[in-house]
Amino acid sequence: MTHTIHRYGKPEDLEYDYSIIFISARNFNRQGSQPKIRRFLELAQKHHAVNFGNMEAGSVLVIGPEKVIEAVKDGTTVQAVFSNQEDVVNILSDLVKEDLGLSVVVQGLEHRVRECCMRTNLKPHTWNHSLGIWGKTELLPEPEVLEVTTMCGHGLVAVSLVKKIFEDVRNGKTTLKKAAQKLAKPCICGMINPVRLERLLERVMEKSLVVEEEKK
């Protein structure tokens, strides 16, 4: 599961962005996995996940936490997003204690994820690294837009929507929180980090104000 490692952004922005995928394996531990998967989501709530989802039913931002958990079946893949390292350390500590027996994939800045593993006495099985974007990169949208769209590993957040929300924020038509929620909802897996989005939107708004000042 490598679709979460291509999140675009500067290290100082990615400091606030961690995700965990919890997944069973076909013909190995899928049968009877429902209560374990539900337990993971309960732990995600306990440790302040800023978004989480069930890829078959939707994210907490759309259907609410209870429905996300209720919709879990044997083999459902679930995800949770966190905005600080301490919450990741705490949920990993609980997962070690409860030993649920399913695969745990943690995404974040490598040195931060390594710190999380060291603090919880975990030895990672595999490391995956993004090689960045290759090809005709001149055709890509602005870096700020990529910071949003690459948070959804399935590409469900349209560039046109991101640009529209950016414009609404610049013109004072919506709040940062509402704008972040609207951008996060198309990602049904719950992989978009609304806290990071609010920081990004604030930066976009400040950048716009600087441009306006320079025009005067």
For residue range 120-129, list pLDDT tens digits in order: 999 999 999 9
8 A C-beta contact, residue 130 and residue 5 = yes
For residue range 150-198, list pLDDT tens digits in order: 999 999 999 999 999 999 999 999 999 999 999 999 999 999 999 999 9
Q: How far apart are the first and last CA of the chain?
A: 49
Fold of 11-119: Alpha-Beta Plaits (3.30.70)
8 A C-beta contact, residue 4 and residue 107 = yes
Report residue 110 as tokens. Answer: 């490598």
What residues does each domain of the chain span?
Answer: 11-119, 139-215
At 215, is the pLDDT very low, low, confident or very high (cuts 50, 70, 90)?
Answer: low
CA angle 156, 160, 164 (to 5 degrees): 120
For residue 81, the cross-strand partners are 19, 51
Report residue 161 as tokens. Answer: 């929507």
pLDDT, residue 210, reads: 44
191 CB-near residues (< 8 Å, 6+ apart): 4, 19, 51, 53, 79, 81, 151, 152, 153
8 A C-beta contact, residue 32 and residue 47 = no
For residue range 37-54, list pLDDT tens digits in order: 999 999 999 999 999 999
At 211, is the pLDDT very low, low, confident or very high (cuts 50, 70, 90)?
Answer: very low
Name the DSSP letter for residue 137. Answer: G
Across the chain, the runs of DSSP E, i.e. the strands, are 18-23, 51-54, 58-59, 78-82, 103-107
Residue where the block lists tokens 């198309």:
186
For residue range 69-102, list pLDDT tens digits in order: 999 999 999 999 999 999 999 999 999 999 999 9
